[in-house]
Structure 1
Amino acid sequence: MDDIYEVLERWGAWAAADSSGVDWQPIAAGFKGLLPYGKKTRFQCGDDEGIMIDGCMSRLKKIKPEEYELIVAHFIIGLSLRTIAKKQKLSEGTIRKNLQTALGFICGCLSMLDVN
């Protein structure tokens, strides 16, 4: 399997490009489509891979909602780990450990689905 960080970067670009149809994108009333959301120039995963990762993300949300929000903030919205740490008033090391836990969970889910 590819490096899980790279897989989630491609998935984040796919989800930010409004491919997933899930509630990733916050929209203010009357402003949909006015400004691009996320980085459109990032490499995206395919729909099949994106849907599988969405399923893993929904499992993560049920079990560990804090790690779920961390993945969404970092990979979809594009916030740096330092920015997330400042907003949550935690150390950057704690945020990195939480991200590693979340990445391990997603990797485990994909392994259980026998995804290469």
Structure 2
Amino acid sequence: MRDIKILLERWGGWAASGEYGLGYSSVAAGFRGLVGAHSMMRLNCSDHDGLILDSCISRLMKVNKEQHDILVAHYLYQISLRSIARRRRCADGTIRKQIQTAEGFVSGVLSALECELECELPEE
């Protein structure tokens, strides 16, 4: 079974390295001042996995931009869910439900693609 949170954390580390020209700004819209220094010791994934995950996340933006923005803010920019809730002036539980729905969507798209990610393969 996939651990979507770990996959998204790896995607966030991969996308944050900035080497791939994905079009994400250096600071999430509306979150200037909340984003701290980027940690150099983030988990990341291969380019192959990163591109697959990025395409799944892009599909989320077409369906629900708000959930996409929360997912990107949390996993790419490492903004806590509490900070996102405070910034949006809503309850923490609301943001948690939205990110769970977004994670479920990405997981569903990955399942529909029936692809194997390199970071999920057992190491030899």
TM-score range for the pair, normalised by the shorter chain length: 0.7 to 0.9
CA deviation after TM superposition for structure 1 residue 113, in Å:
0.9
User: Mapping of 1:1-116 within 5 angstroms?
Assistant: 1-26=1-26, 38-116=38-116
CA deviation after TM superposition for structure 1 residue 39, in Å:
2.0
Q: Give, in whole Å, the separation in 2 of the partners of 1:92 and 1:59.
A: 25
Q: Give, in whole Å, the separation in 2 of the partners of 1:90 and 1:17.
A: 31
> Is the contact between residue 20 and residue 51 of structure 1 (CA under 8 Å) also seen in structure 2?
no
CA deviation after TM superposition for structure 1 residue 86, in Å:
0.1
Q: Give, in whole Å, the separation in 1 of the partners of 2:40 and 2:100.
A: 26
How high is the sequence identity, in percent, across the aligned residues? 42
TM-score normalized by structure 1? 0.86
CA deviation after TM superposition for structure 1 residue 79, in Å:
0.4
CA deviation after TM superposition for structure 1 residue 111, in Å:
0.4
User: Counterpart in 1 of 2:119?
Assistant: none
Could you tell me which amino acid in structure 1 is paired with residue 113 of structure 2?
L
User: Counterpart in 2 of 1:32?
Assistant: none
CA deviation after TM superposition for structure 1 residue 38, in Å:
2.5
Q: Give, in whole Å, the separation in 1 of the partners of 2:73 and 2:64.
A: 15
Unaligned 5+ segments in structure 1 are: 28-36
Q: Residues 105 and 20 of structure 1: is their aligned pair in 2 closer, same or farther, counting only changes over 3 Å? A: farther
Q: Give, in whole Å, the separation in 1 of the partners of 2:108 and 2:80.
A: 24
SS at match of 2:43: coil
Could you tell me which amino acid in structure 1 is paired with residue 103 of structure 2?
L
TM-score normalized by structure 2? 0.81
> Is the contact between residue 38 and residue 76 of structure 1 (CA under 8 Å) also seen in structure 2?
no
